A and B are shown apart, each in its own frame.
Chain A
Amino acid sequence: MPITTTKSAYRKGIVDALPFVLVIIPFASLFGLLATEAGLSVVEALTFSVAVIAGASQFTALQLLQEDVPTVIVLISALTVNLRMAMYSASLTPWIGGAPIWQRALAAYLTVDQTYLTSITQYEREPKMTVPQRMAYFFGAVSPVAPMWYIFTLIGAMLGSQVPDSWALDFAIPITFLAMIAPMFRTLAHVAAALVAVVVSLLAVGVPYSLGVIIAGVAGMITGAQVEAWMERTKPGRTAR
């Protein structure tokens, strides 16, 4: 059903992001647990999640803080894990760049894998949405995700006991991302971009500070753009989107 009002955009954002609750709950709890195991207080663990709101880079920082690594290196490593957020920001700009600055600032703070992925999928599916509708949709997608991240960091930190490895929680994130990516393969260009990104990321897995992901991402984006341009040349009058 097409979105007609900002209110319906907000509601659709909530609904579309709901499946992520399944992932955020174990992932946030795990961060809370590991943080208290590493000696952080409940308040420190919660502050960490509220201030940074980026799972992978929080886990990286927490790991390195325990390993006698210089603080500067901890910071740089955790930030490079988050470099992809700059690419998300660039990718969102053509869609929400026209929104008021305070909304863009709030959206920037709340840009995480899940909210970005949900929103960009919707913007591309319904390009006629207005900017206020796009922002409403974005904040809708945030609504089930961000509060759960805070609340379950807190709960995990308060429980403070070890989650058994047999729960295989490490795999919650890969499964949800794969589920979200699958419907995105709309054209040959999308498939080629993903395939190249996967191959390069496997080859570049030894590159330090998680920079392999960025290298692979850029390689995939270049591939997608090239294939799109090639498809436009061979099929005049049709666009790749």
Chain B
Amino acid sequence: MIDKTALWTVIIGLALGSFFLRFVFTGLVGNRQMPQWLLRHLRYTAVAILPALVAPQVIWPSGTDGQFDLPRVSAALVTLSVGLVTKNVLAAILSGAATLYGMLYFLG
């Protein structure tokens, strides 16, 4: 069982630490002008971090204990392709989910 002191230390520490990480720029830099080179890098935050977050999950999914899984890889490719073609987030999610469940069903 999880020790209660450890649990509450983690909850409180994680709450304060996460808030600090989220506040450090919006809160402390605020309206001051940031240098051009930094802004140029920040423009690519979302398009770099999120694929980096997702890629290992696609290749080594936690749901299969890290085993390569054809339905999951196919679902990822379908989602990305439909998203690229239609630019429609909901259509991409639904076709990805349909691919995942369809293939999980047929491949058993």
Contact = CB atoms under 8 A, between A and B. Distances in A.
Answer yes or no: are A and B bound together in one complex.
yes
Interface of A: 19, 22, 38-40, 44, 47-48, 51-54, 56-58, 61, 65-66, 71, 74-75, 78-79, 82-94, 96-98, 101, 104-105, 107-109, 111, 113, 116-117, 120-121, 124, 165-166, 168-171, 173-185, 189-190, 193-194, 196-198, 200-202, 205, 212-213, 216-225, 228-229, 241
Interface in B37-86: 37-63, 71-72, 75-76, 79-80, 82-84
Contacts of B17: 75, 79, 82
Nearest to A22: B93
5 contacts: A175-B79, A178-B80, A178-B96, A179-B89, A196-B48
Size band of the interface chain B makes with A: 35 or more
Contacts of A121: 46
A182 B2 contact: no
B62 to A, nearest CB: 5
A182 B84 contact: yes
Of B38, B50, B84, B92, most buried by chain A (CB within 10 Å of CB) is B50
Given A79-B18, A79-B21, A85-B18, A179 B93 contact: yes
Contacts, number: 288
A216 B52 contact: yes
Of A51, A52, A74, A185, most buried by chain B (CB within 10 Å of CB) is A52
B2 A39 contact: yes
A52 B87 contact: no
Given A90-B45, A217-B48, A108 B104 contact: no
Contacts of A176: 89, 93
Nearest to B104: A168
Given A165-B63, A178-B96, A182-B87, A97 B31 contact: yes
B54 A177 contact: yes
A93 B87 contact: no
Q: What are the 8 A-B residue pairs with the smallest beta carbon separation, nearest first? A: A182-B83, A220-B48, A224-B44, A170-B63, A179-B92, A216-B52, A51-B15, A201-B52
Interface of B: 1-2, 6-7, 9-15, 17-19, 21-27, 29-32, 34, 37-63, 71-72, 75-76, 79-80, 82-84, 87, 89-90, 92-93, 96-97, 100-101, 104
B22 to A, nearest CB: 4
A97 to B, nearest CB: 5
A91 B46 contact: yes
Contacts of B37: 225
